[in-house]
Amino acid sequence: MAEIVLRVAGISKRFGGLQALSDVGITIERGQIYGLIGPNGAGKTTFFNVITGLYAPDSGTFELGGKPYSPTAVHEVARAGIARTFQNIRLFSEMTAIENVMVGRHIRTQSGLIGAIFRTGSFKAEERAIANRARELLDYVGIGKYADYRARTLSYGDQRRLEIARALATDPQLIALDEPAAGMNATEKVQLRELIDRIRRDNRTILLIEHDVKLVMGLCNRVTVLDYGKQIAEGTPAEVQHNEKVIEAYLGHGHGTAATKAAVAASGEAQ
C-alpha cells in the first residue's frame, strides 16, 4: 500500500467574521504532486499557513509520515519535515545564493552554537559538508553558476529556483510550493515544470498551490479545489476539471482571473 506522507483533516480557520477554511482535509502519498487550486480568496494560502505553523487553526488533526505533529511554530514544522516556499519570495537578499541554501541546511546540523563559537573540528567538517550539499542543490535546480551572487541580483525565476533549493536543503518529507510560477514567463514556466517533475521523480512529495491551472492539471496526481474556504472537489485532474462545482466556481462567480477561466474552459474542452 502507498505510504502516506501528509494526512490532515477537519481544518477550520476563522478571521473575525470570515470563515477562511471550513473542515478541509487532504491525504498525500509519497511521490505524489498534490495540487491545491481555487479562485482568488478561496483559502489556499491560509491552508498552507495553517499546515506550516504560521496560523493557528481553530480545529484540525495533523499527521506527517505517520506521526501526529502540531503546527504551532514554523521551525517545529520545518523540523518535523515540511519545507515551503512563499508566494512573495522570501530570501536573504543580501546573502549569496549558496549562503541562502546553507541556512536551510542548518536546521539538520549537529554542532550547535558552542561548535560555531569555538570553530571545533567537527563544526568545520560539518560546514564543509553543508557547503558541498548546497552547491549540489544549486546545480540540481539549475543555478549552480550563480552560487556566489547575492540573491537579490538573480532574476525572478532564478530566485524562485533558489527558494526551492533552500527548501530541499532541509531534506523535507514534504515540500510545499506556494505559487512557484507566479510572475514567470512562458519559458521559465516550462523549465519550472521540468524541475518540479524531476523533484517528484527523485521520490519527493510535493504540495503545490498554483494559479496556472494548466500547470497544475499537467503536473499533479491529485487536486483539491477550494472555494470560499470549502473543499468543493477532490480527485485526479481529469475528475476535478469535469466537476460542475469547479466549473461554476471558476466560470460562474466571475472571480477567477481571465487566464484561469480560459485554462479551465480549455482543459474541459480538451477531454
Ligand X SMILES: Nc1ncnc2c1ncn2[C@@H]1O[C@H](COP(=O)(O)OP(=O)(O)OP(=O)(O)O)[C@@H](O)[C@H]1O
Which residues contribute to the site for ligand X (CB under 6 A)?
Answer: 15, 18, 20, 38, 40-46
Closest approach of ligand X to the CB of residue 269, in Å: 24
151/88 Cα distance (integer angstroms): 14
Closest approach of ligand X to the CB of residue 35, in Å: 13
Max distance between CA atoms of the chain, in angstroms, equals 65
CB-nearer residue toward ligand X: 18 or 107: 18
10/16 Cα distance (integer angstroms): 19
CB-nearer residue toward ligand X: 38 or 81: 38
Tell me the backbone φ, ψ of residue 149, rounded to 5 degrees. Answer: -85, 145
User: Grid coordinates in use for 203?
Assistant: 521520490
CB-nearer residue toward ligand X: 30 or 230: 230
Closest approach of ligand X to the CB of residue 171, in Å: 27
Say if CB 218 and CB 266 are below 8 A apart. no
CA 245, chain centre distance (Å):
25
CB-nearer residue toward ligand X: 147 or 262: 262
Closest approach of ligand X to the CB of residue 57, in Å: 13
Say if CB 204 and CB 175 are below 8 A apart. yes
Closest approach of ligand X to the CB of residue 154, in Å: 24
CB-nearer residue toward ligand X: 20 or 217: 20
DSSP state of 150: B
